[in-house]
Amino acid sequence: MTEPDGTTRAFTTLFDWLENPSADRGIAYTQERGDWARVTYRDLAAKVFEVAGEITAAGGAGAIIPILMLPGPRFVASFFGVILAGATPAPLVTPTAFEDPNVYDTYLAHLLTTVPPRVVLAEAKFANRVLAVAAPLKPTIVEVAEGFSATPRFHRATPVQDQDLALLQFSSGSSGKNRAVRVPVGSLEANTNAIAKWLDLSADRDAWATWLPVHHDMGLIVGNVTPVMHGLDLWVMPPERFIKEPRMWLSCFGNLGATLTAAPSFGLGYVARKVRPTDLCGMDFAGWKGLICGAERVSAEVLAEFVKLVGPAGFEEQSILPAYGMAEATLGISGKRIGSPTKKIRVASSSLRMGQTVEVVSAEDSGNWHVGCGPRIDPGMTIEIVGEESALDAGVVGEIAVSGSSVAAGYYSNTIGSTSRFEGDKLYTGDAGFLYEGELFIIGRLGDSVKVRGKSVFAEDTDASLHSVAGLGTHNAVSLLGFLENQESIIALVEKPPGEWVAEVAGQLGAQYTSMRVVVIAADRGTLMRTTSGKPRRTTMWQHALERWEAKEIAFDSATVIEPTGF
């Protein structure tokens, strides 16, 4: 492949790693008792051929095949095996990620109705669940065996083409229902190769560690597909293990030699809260090369908390790589370069208006911190900030639009109500942002904002104000924006008994958003709703706030001058 500067580099295809798989490198994964087991790429390749043969025997060639499997080597073998068989994988979240079986069954039924399957690839323990939910569809369930043994090579009847559908990726559904994104082979290969160049990946010196769910674009593409395609040692633990033992994830870098990973901002905040400095005894993070931080707007405060924890053990702040991406662009759109400083600017909230130039203020002034997400990752991709009619200049707030080699081929089914949209060869992301000094800055989801006197107020900014109150953070507090009795309003939904924090929240939000109604709800644990990738389901929670929550839960309402309770 020729780069814009005239140089060339090797281009890795989906199946290059199958030609001469390593007997030394491979995938290590956590077992139920907590220790690590390992499968070499040579054994993994044999499993890929085995799965491809089983899919073909089940009549799955040419079909879209849902995959319900836990993270690890068998999932990776299943993903590549489906593509090798001439079918399209569609990874779905597994039941273990949901506490309420009814919620999961509703989720699974929606996805299987969106993409009616004739073959489903699943672990044995999930097979009956799938059959029960999908009974009217009568799919064939292919159970992937646990063993890894040599099998005859499977040869695809026709070579894979760039326009072939390599992946049906369900978006997280933060602004609506999950939508199925059609990712062609060419887009998948372009994005994984761009990520590899961005991170300067080398199998000789790099190893990856991940806890992200494989049904989510970041966990799938950068946490599994990219390191496997480029032959890196890979350490895999399921999200449930990470939640239980976040120290185990850190040990991948402090003890086991992993150099790269990716995590959302809320994940780093969770580590900072749950892991104590004494838990890091014996760990050395000096070799930790890069930590991609994306999937939601990056919090400067969370980054500082994380660095405070791991910095004394050798972790360097510049190793954090704030990034921006979405399933509709396969994954990566922009990201900070390795070794470069993190660009953090404080922006006057009054300047965050669509079509207006942002006002960068001093650190001492009022305003929220915004973290730069670097320049474009894929040289074959263009990033623009657009208004209603045309592209906008640098520093002006608008909608982020991208085009080029990594952009997906649209949605699989009806997408009415979707904030993101494809028009011609351009993807309009539905996210607001601006370009500043060569980097992309993310403001927030257009579907999670209201206009107040002509200015767009974004939930990510009201979140930042809410989380500045001591004891509150992404784990227990979220802000919702909408209209209450025809007035622009903020609902601060907090999973915490009423206390002094209520007055602090009311004062903080009331002072910063003077023309908005502020309501503070003290809710029970489990009230906050999130997508399968951890993003707040603001639209659903707003609706529940109007329909279900009782007046006794309202700890403060600026419209009725209710005094904060619980003091």
State CA 478 to chain mean position distance. 18
Mean pLDDT score, 194-208: 96
**Per-residue pLDDT, 95:** 82
DSSP helix/strand/coil, 141: strand
Q: Smallest Cα–Cα separation from 311: which of 330, 283, 333, 292?
A: 283
Q: Over 256-300, what HEC string results?
A: CCCCEEEEEHHHHHHHHHHCCHHHHCCCCCCCCCEEEEECCCCCH
For residue 37, pLDDT over 60 is answered with yes
pTM value is 0.82
Amino acid at 222: V
Q: What is the largest CA-CA distance in the chain?
A: 74
Strand partners, 260: 208, 290
- What does DSSP assign to residue 370? E
For residue 267, pLDDT over 80 is answered with yes
Strands 207-210 and 233-236: parallel
Q: Please, which residues have CB within 8 angstroms of residue 400's CB and are 6 or more apart in sequence?
A: 324, 333, 383, 384, 385, 429, 431, 432, 433, 440, 442
Q: How confident is the model at residue 186 (pLDDT cuts 50, 70, 90)?
A: very high
Q: How confident is the model at residue 567 (pLDDT cuts 50, 70, 90)?
A: very low
Encoded tokens for 159: 């070579």
Of 7-11, 447-451, 527-531, minimum mean pLDDT range: 7-11
User: What are the tens digits of pLDDT across the range 354-388?
Assistant: 888 999 988 777 667 888 999 999 999 999 999 87
Give the separation between CA 472 and CA 526, rounded to whole angstroms. 15
**Per-residue pLDDT, 175:** 44
Q: Smallest Cα–Cα separation from 458: which of 431, 497, 484?
A: 431
User: What are the tens digits of pLDDT across the range 465-486?
Assistant: 898 888 888 889 999 987 777 6
Give the separation between CA 79 and CA 62, rounded to whole angstroms. 14
Integer CA distances (angstroms), 269 to 301, 527, 533, in order = 9, 20, 15
Burial class from Cβ neighbours inside 10 Å (0-12, 13-18, 19+) for residue 8 reads exposed
More confidently predicted of 151 and 425: 425
User: What are the tens digits of pLDDT across the range 272-326?
Assistant: 999 999 999 999 999 999 999 987 777 788 888 999 999 999 999 999 999 999 9
**Per-residue pLDDT, 6:** 44
**Per-residue pLDDT, 446:** 67
Domains of the chain: 1-160 (3.40.50.12780), 452-557 (3.30.300.30)
Encoded tokens for 224: 């599994």
Contact assessment for residue 142 and residue 119, using Cβ atoms and an 8 Å cutoff = yes
- What does DSSP assign to residue 496? S
Q: How confident is the model at residue 157 (pLDDT cuts 50, 70, 90)?
A: confident
Burial class from Cβ neighbours inside 10 Å (0-12, 13-18, 19+) for residue 439 reads buried
More confidently predicted of 172 and 106: 106
**Per-residue pLDDT, 302:** 85
**Per-residue pLDDT, 155:** 86
Contact assessment for residue 248 and residue 255, using Cβ atoms and an 8 Å cutoff = no
Mean pLDDT score, 42-50: 95
For residue 130, pLDDT over 70 is answered with yes
